[in-house]
Structure 1
């Protein structure tokens, strides 16, 4: 459960870590820095569950901004959400990073690739049949090859990860 007293400030190395996570998400996903900071902070905070007020205080971000970010990080219909919120946004709810949640989240994202690959392959066949230009075919063929490769390789990668994780926990 979240602490009752005000948490200590982040150390310099913790601040650097949180900023690097924020920058990573900004550069790779276009995620606003404040949202990335919440992700980074929740990865290292102690205790693991933090109230909205504690997060706001630790990151120096207004509570209303924290509420918007947490609402985005805890979608109602996401069965593999990385974060878990206890309580309503109108309260001093608690946020927790779910342990071992990254693999299911990645698995969920990549589970959609085979469908997208099939769509790309169908589109490629249709464009070829219509005599589309080489440039159009090349663009779609590159995407179709990538999606096909990821679709075929990702299940094995995730399976190896799960076996590795299981053997470390044994």
Structure 2
């Protein structure tokens, strides 16, 4: 950083948003706060592509932690990753949030539900055939019903989103 360049500071609104994203992911996914802060910052940062050094500076997180977090957020074998990295971890690489990446990521996650539903259904059928008590099967039965519902409903939800997006009504 040049001597005449002031360190980047988050505005109160930016800081509030970043902290809310971090807390959301902590409470819902057990994601460490610093990782959630990186996600939150990348959702609103300007410019959209940030170097690891910029992210570390603005969030007040050590560069080594940023490298570890970015490595987790940009898995090499994930075709629907929400983030993309340009450059290697040994240089001041950049990271950006892929445009329109949330829907494909969610679609990828939910596309696995029918397979898991089949596993749950087969397990439930097998345990019932063996005469397992209904009280014992309650957890699996509840999960199987949920997975059946989500497996049936999610394609229609995603299709409605795509239609709205095509009509310019969704982001």
TM above 0.5, yes or no, is yes
Contact preservation (8 Å) 1:6, 1:54: no
Distance in 1 (alpha carbons) for counterparts of 2:133 and 2:105: 38
Contact preservation (8 Å) 1:21, 1:37: yes
1:3-152 correspondence to structure 2 within 5 Å: 8-152=8-152
Unaligned runs of 5+ in 2: none
Greater CA drift, 127-136 or 59-68? 127-136
Greater CA drift, 131-140 or 82-91? 131-140
Residue in structure 2 matched with residue 154 of structure 1 by the alignment: 154
Deviation by residue 1:47-104 (Cα, 9 ceiling, x = unmatched): 0000000000000000000000000000000000000000000100000000100000
SS in structure 1 of the partner of residue 168 of structure 2: helix
TM-score by length of 2: 0.94
Cα 1:7–1:153 change in 2 (3 A) is farther
Contact preservation (8 Å) 2:73, 2:83: yes
Deviation by residue 1:3-37 (Cα, 9 ceiling, x = unmatched): xx666311001000000000000000000000000
Contact preservation (8 Å) 1:124, 1:137: yes
Moved over 6 A (4+): none
Cα 1:139–1:69 change in 2 (3 A) is same
Distance in 2 (alpha carbons) for counterparts of 1:85 and 1:139: 41
Contact preservation (8 Å) 2:80, 2:104: yes
TM-score by length of 1: 0.95
| Aligned-residue offset at 1:107 | 0.3
How many residue pairs align between the two structures? 166
Distance in 1 (alpha carbons) for counterparts of 2:71 and 2:54: 16
SS in structure 2 of the partner of residue 75 of structure 1: coil
